[in-house]
């Protein structure tokens, strides 16, 4: 049997054509990522009416709008295997990068007893959890998806989700919801000075 005949017979046996755009793994990974996106977007709508702080509402709306565009981009390529009608772009947060360091004593936390106890601290924490989960799903999928366009969209989207999560961290930190402890300066210095540069071979 000639090689071309073997290839044709193999394609007929598996029910697949040689020009298929996706492997089975692509479809399953993309299905999981799209599900995570829908979960994030649906929860944004659920939180919307409970947000009190105008700044958090602004963050929620901008992140919702950005993620809706990303969702549509992913769907375009998921269904066609080709470049989407709208290219990906970068998420831009509006906060400064200033972090407040140190710890202050607050009220002990406990689970909410009813939905009215879910405040901006809770909601911003929920949103942070969604960004982490989606960033993880995109990262895992980008390692294994064989379609080059979909893989690039997933890979390019990870920094955007990190930026969204960092924006939420800064909001929480500014409002005392996410405190950042520090080591003593002498201990930090010991750790920082415990490494040195490696010899690097010349680049060709």
Percent of the chain as helix, strand, coil, to the nearest 5: 60, 0, 35
pLDDT of residue 90: 94
pLDDT at 39 over 80: yes
Cα–Cα distance measured from residue 103 to residue 50, given in angstroms and rounded to the nearest whole number: 28
pLDDT of residue 16: 41
Q: Sorting pLDDT into bands at 50, 70 and 90, what band is 6?
A: very low
pLDDT of residue 59: 96
The fold for domain 23-91+119-174 equals Ferritin (1.20.1260)
Q: Sorting pLDDT into bands at 50, 70 and 90, what band is 148?
A: very high
Rg (CA), the chain: 23
pTM of the model: 0.84
pLDDT of residue 124: 96
pLDDT of residue 8: 47
Domain chopping of the chain, boundaries: 23-91+119-174
Cα–Cα distance measured from residue 186 to residue 204, given in angstroms and rounded to the nearest whole number: 41
Closest Cα partner for 60 from 71, 44, 36?
Answer: 44
Listing DSSP states for 70-127 in one string gives: HHHHHHHHHHHSS--SS--------S-----BB----PPP---SSGGG--HHHHHHHH
Task: Extract the tokens encoding 2.
Answer: 């000639």
């Amino acid at each position: 049997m000639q090689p071309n005949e073997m290839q044709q017979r193999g394609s007929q046996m598996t029910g697949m054509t040689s020009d298929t755009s996706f492997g089975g793994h692509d479809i399953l990974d993309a299905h999981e990522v799209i599900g995570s996106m829908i979960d994030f977007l649906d929860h944004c709508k659920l939180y919307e009416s409970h947000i009190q702080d105008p700044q958090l509402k602004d963050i929620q709306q901008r992140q919702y709008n950005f993620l809706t565009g990303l969702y549509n981009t992913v769907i375009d390529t998921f269904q066609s295997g080709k470049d989407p009608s709208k290219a990906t772009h970068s998420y831009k947060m509006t906060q400064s990068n200033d972090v407040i360091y140190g710890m202050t004593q607050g009220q002990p936390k406990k689970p909410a007893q009813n939905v009215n106890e879910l405040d901006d601290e809770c909601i911003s924490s929920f949103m942070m959890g969604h960004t982490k989960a989606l960033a993880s799903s995109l990262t895992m999928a980008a390692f294994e998806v064989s379609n080059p366009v979909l893989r690039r969209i997933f890979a390019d989207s990870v920094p955007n989700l990190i930026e969204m999560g960092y924006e939420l961290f800064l909001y929480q930190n500014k409002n005392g919801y996410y405190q950042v402890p520090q080591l003593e300066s002498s201990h930090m210095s010991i750790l920082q000075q415990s490494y040195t540069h490696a010899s690097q071979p010349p680049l060709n």
